[in-house]
Amino acid sequence: MEAENFVSTREALTRSDGELVRLRGWVYRKRELANNIFIVLRDSEGIIQCVVNRESAPKELVEEAERATIESSIEAEGSVATDARAPGGKEVRLSSLRVVGLSENFPIKGGESLDYLLDIRHLWLRSRKLTQIMRVRATVLDALRRYFIDNGWWEVSPPILTQSAVEGGSTLFPVDFFGRKAYLSQSAQFYLEVMIFSLERVWSLTPSFRAERSRTRRHLYEYWHLEAEAAWMDMHDMMRVVEDMVKATIKEVLDKRLEELEFLKRKLDPLEETLRSKFKEVTYDEAIERLQKKGFNIKWGDDIGADEERALTEDLNVPFFLTMFPKHLKSFYMKAYDQDPRLVLGFDLEAPEGYGEIVGGSQREDRYDVLYNRIVEEKLNPADYQWYLDLRRYGSVPHSGFGLGVDRLVMWITGIEHIRDAIPFPRLRERIYP
């Protein structure tokens, strides 16, 4: 019987004893015993154990199996057999094997330092842990896009080379634009605000660049930013969008990537509880009180930073919205709260289990005069914001929007320690490599 075309390791594990399968992948592990050579083959779907029996196998097969080093790419064919000791409960008894690309001595063997592994990220990405995270990440991206497409939002393509700072000058990356200064985008927000006047509900998924001064577990210099903006929505309308979108994403991951989460030893209760719960709203004022009760030396008007966010979220399983911030802590474009002019209509989504902010959003100031005065008050030059102000001169509309850090969402969903492992090629301060 001829084996059909190549099947994945996952598919092979579903086949009955005696079925012939053809596999291709990489040598993940190898053990040579007196009678048998065991090769664990790895592909994008998982691993499967392959065996070559030295006594019954033809000489060429035994030689090829001996030659196949760790991380060599191989094609193999054999019959499926139940074996309780094999990962997945089955193995493939090989009748043929071909080394496609022989691997030199693979530099990762286990126990290497983080610095070393980061230097060879291009090889480290083959690890099973990073593979599971990248699979979850792809599903997160898929679910986010699907959420907007299915709900009738328009995807738009904002520029990355820009002239204006959305989130303040200190984290801008300058670039030389034919002798003039330009910047890498920190946010697409202003461009999305332009687009709502024709498309009403828009979103984009782009890299954003932030020259963060401090190194933390949750900041990247280049991250993936999902942003949305909609006409006719107030702050609470937009908070419901964020809640639905996050839940839709978690549901998709629990439906499709459960094995990956289990591999990563991710506790599932918080994700499941998040699906069942309504996200609560905690105002800035309430958060300050909670922090004071927890012993923080913090007063009204102080920023709620990473440590404070951790304290507010570490005992929780479900995200909550932090809202109604003092205006001096937030950007000039957030809409003033008329009942209390010290406050603005901003909201952050705080992920539980100590993860902290994953979304920042607000209702935008839609009144020309109020916005103009805020720009002046922040010592910015209104001329630099002329086109942004124009949006308030020609048919202004109440509107709101938000930005989600995709990498932070992946970090929380996978339950990992550091954001650099949520993205394949994190940019590092020391080097841009690979």
Site residues (CB under 6 A) for ligand ATP?
Answer: 167, 210, 212, 219-220, 223, 225, 357-360, 403-405, 407-408
Please identify, using beta-carbon distances, which residue of 37 and 242 lies nearer to ligand ATP: 242
Nearest distance from C-beta of residue 389 to ligand ATP, angstroms: 21
Please identify, using beta-carbon distances, which residue of 26 and 402 lies nearer to ligand ATP: 402
Nearest distance from C-beta of residue 418 to ligand ATP, angstroms: 12
Structure tokens at 4: 């059909």
Nearest distance from C-beta of residue 223 to ligand ATP, angstroms: 4
Nearest distance from C-beta of residue 299 to ligand ATP, angstroms: 19
* Spatial contact of 184 and 205, defined as CB atoms under 8 Å apart: no
144-178 residues labelled b (16+ CB within 10 A) or e (exposed): beebbeeeebeebebeeebebbbeeeebbeeeeee
Q: Would you give the DSSP letter of residue 419? A: G
- Residue 148 CA, distance from chain mean position: 17
Neighbours of 260 (CB within 10 A): 22
Nearest distance from C-beta of residue 122 to ligand ATP, angstroms: 22
Assign 309 to helix, strand or coil.
Answer: helix
Structure tokens at 139: 């599903």
Please identify, using beta-carbon distances, which residue of 49 and 206 lies nearer to ligand ATP: 206
Sign of CA dihedral 398, 359, 206, 259: negative
Nearest distance from C-beta of residue 342 to ligand ATP, angstroms: 19
Nearest distance from C-beta of residue 390 to ligand ATP, angstroms: 23
Nearest distance from C-beta of residue 251 to ligand ATP, angstroms: 20
- Give the separation between CA 63 and CA 154, rounded to whole angstroms: 58
Report the candidate in 60, 65, 126 with the shortest Cα–Cα distance to residue 99: 65
Please identify, using beta-carbon distances, which residue of 248 and 358 lies nearer to ligand ATP: 358
Structure tokens at 110: 């286990």
- Give the separation between CA 35 and CA 55, rounded to whole angstroms: 7
- Give the separation between CA 431 and CA 339, rounded to whole angstroms: 49
Please identify, using beta-carbon distances, which residue of 235 and 359 lies nearer to ligand ATP: 359
Amino acid at residue number 132: Q
Cross-sheet strand order for the sheet of 174-177: 161-162, 180-184, 174-177
Please identify, using beta-carbon distances, which residue of 29 and 240 lies nearer to ligand ATP: 240
- As a whole number of Å, the end-to-end CA separation of the chain is 45
Nearest distance from C-beta of residue 325 to ligand ATP, angstroms: 10
Helix ranges, 43-188 (H) = 59-67, 114-119, 121-124, 128-150
Q: Would you give the DSSP letter of residue 88? A: G
DSSP string, 107-129: S--S---HHHHHHTHHHHTTSHH
Per the listing, tokens 């998982």 go with 46
Please identify, using beta-carbon distances, which residue of 25 and 360 lies nearer to ligand ATP: 360
Nearest distance from C-beta of residue 125 to ligand ATP, angstroms: 19
Please identify, using beta-carbon distances, which residue of 13 and 359 lies nearer to ligand ATP: 359
Please identify, using beta-carbon distances, which residue of 86 and 351 lies nearer to ligand ATP: 351
Please identify, using beta-carbon distances, which residue of 91 and 243 lies nearer to ligand ATP: 243
